Every structure is written in C-alpha cells, then in structure tokens.
C-alpha cells in the first residue's frame, strides 16, 4: 500500500485509512504497510507505527495486515519486528539487508535472529536483489524453515525460476508470493499462491479474479485477465515504483500526493501513458 502525503509532506493518516478500506473492498486479502511501495526508506519509525495503527483501525480485521519491518541493521529489524507484534500485526515483511551485502550465512543469521526475537509473529521473507544488491538463496531459505514463524516469501527477483528453486528446496512448507505483478500468473503456474501487488491499487477486482480463476482451474479465463492487465503492469513500472502508482491513484481520484525526495512526481509522459492505459482497462 502506498503512503499518502499531504502537500506539506506529512503523512495523511485519514486518507491512508480510507485507502486501506477501499483496497480491502476491492479484493485485497491483506495489506503490506510500509513496504517498498509505501516508501519505508523515507519514513521514520514513528510515522510507520502511526500508519499501521490508522490502517488497523480502518480495516478492523477484514484483511491480514503485514508491517514492513526490515532493515540492513539486524538490531533495528529486531526492534521493528517486535514493535509490529506489539501493534497487533498479522505478520511482518522482512526485506533482505541492503547495501552491506552479507554472504548467505550472514543472511541466515540475520533472519534467524529476527524470527527468534518475535516467535509469535509470522514472517514473510522479501527477496528483491535489484534494490538490495544481494539475493537470498533458496538453500538459505530452506535452512530457516525449522523456525515455525518463517512461513512465506515474496519473490521479486524477476524470474519464475526463483519460485521453482524455492519449491524444490522447501516444498509446500513455504507460501510463495509473486513480488512482480506482471509475473503473477506465470508464478502461480509454477507454485506461487498469490501476489504482493502494486497494480491492485487500481485494478484489484481484476487481479483477484485472475488468481481465483487460476486456482479454480479456469486457466483460459486467467490468461485472458493476465493479458488485459499486462499493459497496466508494464506502465506502473515505467519508472521507479511508487512514482507511477501514485500518479495512477491521482488519476483515479485519490489525492495521495507526490513521493518524498529523493523520488520525484511522475512526469507528463508517464502520466499520459497511465491515463491511456487506465482508460483502455476499464471496460470489462
């Protein structure tokens, strides 16, 4: 979920609550608060906690809530994950440490320390090497499955091969989610169970319908919906996320504001592409 900002750059908590309610009504089974799309790197921990509390009140148990609690500092990630548990999160999204590029044994130690510090809180490990500079190997993930709260994985390496490799190492013990809207259907075909979505901000019912059609065995319907969604998925990543999705929400009547620096608002070319793509998508 994006983080709405006012014109002065402050977090718009009432609008965040309204958007959360809307996303759940549009078919999202859960919301990630303060992940990549929520601009967690430019939010203070206090802002993140306030956001989570506002969304939790608005959703009122109608969807699972995951708090982004990752950090490149293990001690900071432990503290944030414990705080997520204290705030009543249903789970935490914990990203691979970024910039410091730990080896695989360091990654294993990092995630093990977090899991042991909040054993009651389910964890979704988040692999996005294009942003972190390091990739969490499937064998490393498998080594963590003795921890009862390591339960799911957001696969954002950009390949279906990652899902296949995780399935080979972990089997059904790990719930794998696509971290790339455009790859949701291909990843479902090789064993993923859903998507942590950006496009659901503006196309939630269609994404939900695609996943449900695939799970029901109606693969032709799922493929047709995938093909309808693909231009939107491509447009939403025409520049750095969440720049395009915030522009798309503005075009749909949600005044979520510009991203915080160092991200800039979408330029006119991106806005025009999104406008045309949204207009083409609306007919069913």
Question: Kind and range of the H or E element at 201?
Answer: helix 200-215
Show the tokens assigned to 2.
Answer: 């994006």
Q: Which residues contact 247 (CB under 8 A, 6 or more apart)?
A: 265, 266, 270, 271, 274
Q: Which member of 126, 177, 246, 271 is catalytic?
A: 126
Which among 169, 107, 168 has a CA at the least distance from the CA of 115? 107
> DSSP strand E in 84-208: where?
91-95, 123-127, 150-155, 175-178, 194-195
Does residue 154 carry a catalytic annotation? Answer: yes
Q: Which member of 56, 98, 101, 154 is catalytic?
A: 154
Q: Count Cβ neighbours within 10 Å for each residue of 252-268 and write b for 16 or more, e otherwise.
A: eebebbbbeeebeebee
Which among 244, 234, 249 has a CA at the least distance from the CA of 266? 244
DSSP state of 259: P
Does residue 271 carry a catalytic annotation? Answer: no
DSSP strand pairing (123-127 vs 150-155): parallel
Known catalytic residues? 126, 154
């Amino acid at each position: 979920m994006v983080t709405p900002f006012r014109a002065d750059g402050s977090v718009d908590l009432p609008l965040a609550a309204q958007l959360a309610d809307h996303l759940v009504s549009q078919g999202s089974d859960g919301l990630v608060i303060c992940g990549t799309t929520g601009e967690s790197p430019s939010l203070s921990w206090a802002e993140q906690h306030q956001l989570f509390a506002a969304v939790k009140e608005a959703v009122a148990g109608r969807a699972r809530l995951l708090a982004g609690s990752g950090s490149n500092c293990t001690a900071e990630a432990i503290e944030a994950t414990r705080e997520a548990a204290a705030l009543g999160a249903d789970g935490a999204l914990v990203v691979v440490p970024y910039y410091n590029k730990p080896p695989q044994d360091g990654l294993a130690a990092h995630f093990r320390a977090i899991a042991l510090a909040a054993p009651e809180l389910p964890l979704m490990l988040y692999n996005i090497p294009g942003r972190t500079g390091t990739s969490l190997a499937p064998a490393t993930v498998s080594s963590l499955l003795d921890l009862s709260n390591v339960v799911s994985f957001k696969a954002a390496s950009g390949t279906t091969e990652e899902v296949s490799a995780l399935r080979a190492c972990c089997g059904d013990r790990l719930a794998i989610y696509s971290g790339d809207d455009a790859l949701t259907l291909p990843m479902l075909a090789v064993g993923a169970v859903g998507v942590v979505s950006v496009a659901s901000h503006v196309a939630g019912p269609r994404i939900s319908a695609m996943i449900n059609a695939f799970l029901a065995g109606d693969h032709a319907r799922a493929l047709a919906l995938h093909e309808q969604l693909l231009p939107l998925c491509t447009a939403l990543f025409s520049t750095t996320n969440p720049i395009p999705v915030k522009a798309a929400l503005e075009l749909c009547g949600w005044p979520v504001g510009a991203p915080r620096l160092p991200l800039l608002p979408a330029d006119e070319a991106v806005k025009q592409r999104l406008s045309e793509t949204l207009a083409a998508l609306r007919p069913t």
